[in-house]
Amino acid sequence: MAAEPAVAVDLGALFSLADVEAAALARIPEMAREYLIGGAGDEITLRANREAFDRVRLLPRVLRDVSRIDTRVGLLGRTHALPLLLAPTAYHGLFHAGAESETARGAERAGVTLVVSTVATTALDEVARASAAPKWFQIYCQTDRAHTLERMRLAEASGYEAFVLTVDTPVLGARNREKRTAFHLPEPLRMANFPASLGSYTPNQHHDPHGIYNPFLDPSLGWKDVDWMREHSNLPLLLKGVLAPEDARLAVEHGAAGVIVSNHGGRNLDTVPATLEALPGIARAVGGRVPLLLDGGIRRGTDVIKALALGADAVLIGRPFVCGLALAGARGVERVVEILSLELQMAMALLGAPNLDEIGPQVLWREG
């Protein structure tokens, strides 16, 4: 069921993430394609994530020495070559036979960190062995805390460097595209990191098909559980799915090592703000005390610039690298990152900002 190109793809002829997406979506089977591109409800937030970047204008400065461009950033004690990570995304086995292991190889080739999803089709330790790329583990905390702790211990033993707790999904949103295509995991794909007895993360395999709750998710998750996770591991814990400044303040108070501004790619509650719109308020609330990351809508190097200028330390991409994976495996993932990296460097040079420290509100055009 994975998308496999029938003929070799000339990645060098793909010059933008839009090129990669168009080429990939032409090859991905309908059910997987609708899962990948879909959002919640009327997909207003899904579109807003992209549109928010388009509204922001940049202000270049001239006659500055940009003969050397430095895109490095420090996060959680490691220097990253780019302010860019691969976001946790589900079911890579739907898009390439090599699944998450192939993504990990692409992350290594591209020199970026991969955040592996709980809803992966490859086991944590297997993904870890696939490449030397740095890896973080995204967690959906289960009602069975013993099982969650078991996954945490496996991640630690496998060399994962941080945990990312998704906090915005007590239930799933109204994912109409998934229901219309009766989305499911084909055999022999399965969620490799949790037992089948927990059911599925997908909306069409609930134990209660007429209710809102999913046995895979824990609707009782609270700040006490953030404390519990911190007590049971020394690895940094980031919280993903924050849109309210007050929640960002609470995250810092509860010891989070980082905050990820995210609306789940527009896949949960529709009509919430775009992540870029929410970012400035959260940046003020966090006040530089912990790293601030953002996902949702990144499609250009200039988008990375805009997120950094409004307060983010780094960004994550999801759908774009999955398109690269579907198109050409590890090489496709690498090509997506390469395109963004080249665009980021060009934008920095044209703005007169040779390093990331010089990207702030001053690079944004303000009327008047």
| CATH number, domain containing residue 208 | 3.20.20.70
Cα–Cα distance between 271 and 245 in angstroms, integer?
A: 18
Residues 133-158: tens digit of each pLDDT: 999 999 998 888 999 999 999 999 99
> Structural domain tally of the chain?
1
In a domain, 62, yes or no: no
- Looking at the domain assignment, is residue 71 inside a domain? no
121 lies in a domain? yes
**Chain centroid to CA 189: how far?**
22
User: Could you tell me if residue 70 is inside a domain?
Assistant: no
Catalytic residue among 80, 92, 96, 264: 264
Q: Mean pLDDT of all residues in the chain? A: 94
Q: Provide the 8-state DSSP code for 355.
A: B
What are 216's two structure tokens?
């895979």
**Rounded Cα gap, residues 167 and 232, in angstroms:** 18
Asked whether the predicted pLDDT for residue 5 surpasses 70, the reply is: no
Q: Are 257 and 236 in contact, with CB atoms under 8 Å apart?
A: yes
21: β partners: none
* Closest C-alpha among 165, 157, 102, 96 to residue 124: 157
pLDDT of residue 285: 98
Q: How far apart are CA 365 and CA 199, in angstroms?
A: 49
CA distance 362 to 204: 48
Does some domain include residue 228? yes
> Is a pLDDT exceeding 70 seen at residue 315?
yes
Residues 6 or more apart whose CB falls under 8 angstroms from that of 33 comprise 25
- Give yes or no for a contact between 32 and 94, defined as CB atoms under 8 angstroms apart: yes
User: What band does 206 get if pLDDT is binned at 50, 70 and 90?
Assistant: very low
The Cα–Cα gap between 9 and 296 comes to: 27
CB-hemisphere CA count at 13 Å for 215? Answer: 13
Q: Which two tokens stand for residue 1?
A: 């069921």
Mean pLDDT of 167-191: 93
**pLDDT tens digits, one per residue of 230-264:** 999 999 999 999 999 999 999 999 999 999 999 99
Is residue 367 one of the residues assigned to a domain? no
**Assigned domain for 67 exists:** no
Task: Look up tokens 């998704």; give the residue.
Answer: 166
Pairing mode of beta strands 314-317, 292-295: parallel
- Residue 208 contacts residue 120 (beta carbons within 8 Å): no
Q: Which domain holds residue 322?
A: 11-57+77-359
pTM: 0.96
Q: Taking the alpha carbons of 261, 161, 110, 89 in that order, is the dihedral positive or negative?
A: negative
Q: What percent of the chain has pLDDT over 90?
A: 88
Confidence of residue 207 (pLDDT cuts 50, 70, 90): very low
Residue 215 binned pLDDT confidence (cut-offs 50, 70, 90): confident
Residue range 208-221: mean pLDDT, rounded:
80
Contacts of 188 (CB under 8 A, 6+ apart): none
Does the pLDDT at position 59 exceed 90?
Answer: yes
Q: What pLDDT, on the 0 to 100 scale, is given for residue 115?
A: 98
Q: What is the pLDDT of residue 1?
A: 53
State pLDDT tens for residues 96-108.
999 999 999 999 9
Alpha-carbon distance 73 to 314, whole Å?
8
Q: Is the pLDDT score of 205 beyond 60?
A: no
Please check whether residue 331 is in contact with residue 102, taking contact to mean a CB–CB distance below 8 angstroms: no
Rounded distance, CA 183 to CA 267, Å? 14
Q: What is the pLDDT of residue 16?
A: 98
Rounded to an integer, the average pLDDT of 186-204 is 78
pLDDT tens, 65-98? 999 999 999 999 999 999 999 999 999 999 999 9
- Determine, yes or no, domain membership for 65: no
Known catalytic residue at 92: no
Taking phi over 0 as left and psi of -120 to 50 as alpha, with beta for the rest, 27 belongs to alpha
